Amino acid sequence: MEDIIISVLQRTMIAGTPLLLATVGEIICERSGILNLGVEGVMSVGAVVAFIVTFLTGQPWLGVAAAIVAGMAVSLIHAFASVTLQANQVVSGLALTMLGLGLSGMLGKPYIGKPLAIKMNSFAVPFLSDIPYAGKIFFNQSPFFFLAVGLALLAWFFLERTRFGIKVRSTGENPGATETHGVNVSLIRYICILIGGGFSALAGAHLSISYSKSWIEGMTAGRGWIAIALTIFALWNPGKAIFAAFLFGGIFVLQYLLQPLGISPNFLAMLPYATTLIVLLLISLKDPRKLNAPAKLGEPYKKGER
Amino acid sequence: MFKIKVSDRENITKTRSFMTNTFSLCAGLVAIGFIFLSCKVNPFFAISAIFADSFGTIYGIKETITKAIPLILIGTGLTFAFRAKFWNIGAEGQLLMGALFGTWIALTFGEFFPGYIIVPMMFIAGFIGGSLCGIIPAILKIKYSINEVISTLMLNYICAEFITMLIVGPWKGSQRFGFPGTNDLPASAVLNLIPGSRIHYATLIVTILFAAILCIIVYKTKFGYEVRVVGENPDAGKYAGINFFRTTVLVMMISGGAAGLAGVGEVAGIHHYLGYPASISSGYGFTAIIVAWLAKLNPLYTIISGIFFAGILVGGDAIQISLGLPAATVQIINGTLLVFLIMGDFFLKNRIRIQRIQ
């Protein structure tokens, strides 16, 4: 029984990792006032690029780096459309998702079903991994887990405690006033969209070279969309995103846990999506004022307008 | 030195709008050509093959019309939702719910009633199924301020899993020999086809009527006016006493219902049984978003843009087989065209002048 609980919690952490990465990326992006619905597509591009580069070179970290570059490159489309051309961010994000899913399907076609020779090994933190229970759950994990938690804390620090973070947040709240203080709103938004794209791609890389070690079309399975919902659940705070993401990681694991009990696997597959809706409803019922999205989220900014 | 000056364009004429869209689509096709080139496929050959396979042969035209039916139907519904700035990304799920309700009517009552009773019943049930699935996110948005993009998307996944659960479980038919899927619909519930094609004309008629009625509602009725105000100037709408809850729910009833009708058409006209969700709809709900956008949210124009994108689907499938391209080709084409259409909107809304600075 003990072993089962430890293994379930361990898998919860792994399942929550891509959600955390993508959610933190989306939080940074949305804090600057840009809604990016392209997460699912960028994640998919990240997954396929990481897989292909790792497969060809045998270097997982090179794969990760390539995925981040690719994720940023495709996100540039959304940045150009939504910032420079002031396009509708919902439609532009959807276009990015379609394009990303399409491109990854095309690039990945020759690699479907091929296993990776070299996988990313889990990493045991010296000393800490020897702690009973917690050591196995938290400190003997995929490197992506440490990366995700570390980056989430870093993002929190960066948004809440640095000058650049203030610029990002005020860009999302009141771009007109921010611009009069000599901040380049467009530049800030470009940077945030690219950082967000890098995070999403990193989440995809985790899926293809650490979580499942193979590439299948559609392997992101809506995780990008759940990340967008988690952004709201975490109330645009990267620190809270850690709890939100691992809670949902647990729901993903719960599917496999309940399957032997004879519950329909399709019913269980609904759980993450249904929970997303229920959680958003509960937040809203408890205190609707808490849903304080960045004031200018999703609104294009025209220079010289207040 | 030169300086680029951007200013609002005052009056946007229909001709300019049409020309901009056409130019954007052409630019998009050039970009797609480069993607083909990177796959070592001759872009001129591939792009001309897309249009030759979809509009160049009688068979192609028939297939294009068959696929245009759900695209136009969903697209017209979406124009309505998008006008109210309600981002309904859940047409895929609404289509599936329509298919589910229609199938239930056919399998339960099909044997006892003739076609002229059962077919209208199926369409009505499909409309109800789709609109129920559409009303949920409308209520969630207005009463609980839950983002509709998230809720409609989550419902897509939930509907797809729900249908899979039914067809591998309680609804699994003995005629499928152990494979997932319901039994075949009874003969009275199957839609007639135009001979020699797969065009189920009953749905085609419903589609065109629906587009025409929506066009009248949007441009000629008080309700249509309210929808436009809700989307374009919500503050003015609140001041004028428009009931946002009622308007949004009605809009999503129509938008979801349209997708539900398309679902009935697909099951009763083409598949004749309820199978895996991915086989009932090959992403029509998402492609219809581009259809609505290209039609500039005018329900009647969706007939043209729907046929265009149906052609891309048919031609894309054809070159995918003949040139050995991956299944994702159509998605890339759709995504690229949408990106260029959005970019084109910028040049439609703004005047760009290059000025010389001394």
**Segment B47-70, tens digit of pLDDT:** 888 898 889 899 999 999 999 999
Position B39 pLDDT exceeds 90: no
Query: Quick check: A75 and A190 in contact, CB under 8 A?
Result: no
Question: Per residue in A126-141, is it b (16+ CB within 10 Å) or e — as a string?
Answer: eeebeeeeebbbbbbb
Tokens linked to A68: 């981040």
A117 confidence band (pLDDT: 50, 70, 90):
confident
Q: Does A96 touch chain B (CB under 8 A)?
A: yes
H/E element holding B351?
strand B350-356
Residues in chain A with CB shorter than 8 Å from the CB of B164 are 266
Q: Is the pLDDT of residue B217 over 60?
A: yes
Closest-CA distance, A244 to chain B, in angstroms, reads 16
Domain boundaries, chain A: 2-290
Please indicate whether, in this complex, the C-beta atoms of B89 and A274 are within 8 angstroms of each other: no
Q: Closest to B332 (Cβ–Cβ): which among A88, A99, A276?
A: A99
Query: In chain A, whose CA is at the least distance from the CA of B338?
Result: A95
How distant is the Cα of A271 from the closest Cα of chain B, in angstroms? 8
Question: What average pLDDT does this structure show over B140-158?
Answer: 90
The answer to whether the CB atoms of A280 and B146 lie below 8 A apart is yes
Spatial distance between the Cα atoms of A160 and A31, rounded to a whole number of angstroms: 11
For residues B235-246, average pLDDT: 85
Task: Name the 3-class secondary structure at B2.
Answer: strand
Nearest CA in chain A to B36: A106
Q: How far apart are CA B4 and CA B266, in angstroms?
A: 50
Those of residues 113-132 in A touching chain B at CB distance below 8 A are none
Residue closest to A175 by CA, chosen among A294, A84, A27: A294
Query: How far is the C-alpha of B78 from the C-alpha of B87, rounded, in Å?
Result: 8
Asked if the C-beta of B18 comes within 8 angstroms of chain A's C-beta atoms, the answer is: no
In 3D, which of B165, B39, B178 has the Cα closest to residue B100? B165
pLDDT of residue B135: 96
Q: Which of A90, A97, A222 sits opposite B157 (nearest CB)?
A: A222
Q: B345 in contact with A at a CB cutoff of 8 Å?
A: yes
Contact call for residues A298 and A82 (beta carbons, < 8 A): no
How many residues can be counted in chain A?
306
ipTM for the predicted complex comes to 0.87
Mean residue pLDDT of chain B comes to 89
**What CATH architecture applies to the domain A2-290?**
Orthogonal Bundle (1.10)
Query: Is A282 at the interface with chain B, CB within 8 A?
Result: no
Cβ <8 Å between B329 and A106: yes
Q: So what's the pLDDT on residue B250?
A: 94
Contact A269 B161 (CB under 8 A): yes
A-proximal residues of B, 239-298, CB under 8 Å: 286, 289, 293
- Among chain B residues, the shortest Cα distance to A286 is held by B144
CB-based contact B110:B344 (threshold 8 Å): no
Positive/negative CA dihedral, B309, B93, A294, A244: negative
Indicate if the pLDDT at residue B6 is higher than 80.
Answer: no
| For range B200-225, the mean pLDDT | 91
The answer, yes or no, to whether residue A298 has pLDDT greater than 60, is yes
Indicate the pLDDT class of residue A291, thresholds 50, 70 and 90: low
pLDDT in tens, A193-233: 999 999 999 999 999 988 887 888 888 888 998 899 899 88
Q: What's the pLDDT at A284?
A: 83
Residue B242 has pLDDT above 70, yes or no: yes
Partner B contacted by A37 (CB < 8 A): yes
A48: left (phi over 0), alpha (psi -120 to 50) or beta: alpha
> Angle at which helices A89-108 and A60-79 pack, to 10 degrees?
150
Would you call A87 and B345 a contact, using CB atoms and an 8 Å cutoff? yes
Contacts of B147 in chain A (CB under 8 A): 229, 232, 280
Give residue-wise pLDDT tens across range B157-179.
Answer: 999 999 999 998 888 888 888 78
The C-alpha of A166 sits at a distance from chain B's nearest C-alpha, in angstroms, of 26
Residue A305 banded pLDDT, cuts 50, 70, 90 = low
Supply the pLDDT for residue A290: 60
Q: Does residue A150 sit at the B interface (CB-CB below 8 Å)?
A: no
Determine the distance in angstroms separating the CA of A217 from the nearest CA of chain B, rounded to an integer: 9
**B139 Cβ under 8 Å from any chain A Cβ:** no
Question: Is B61 touching A (CB cutoff 8 A)?
Answer: no
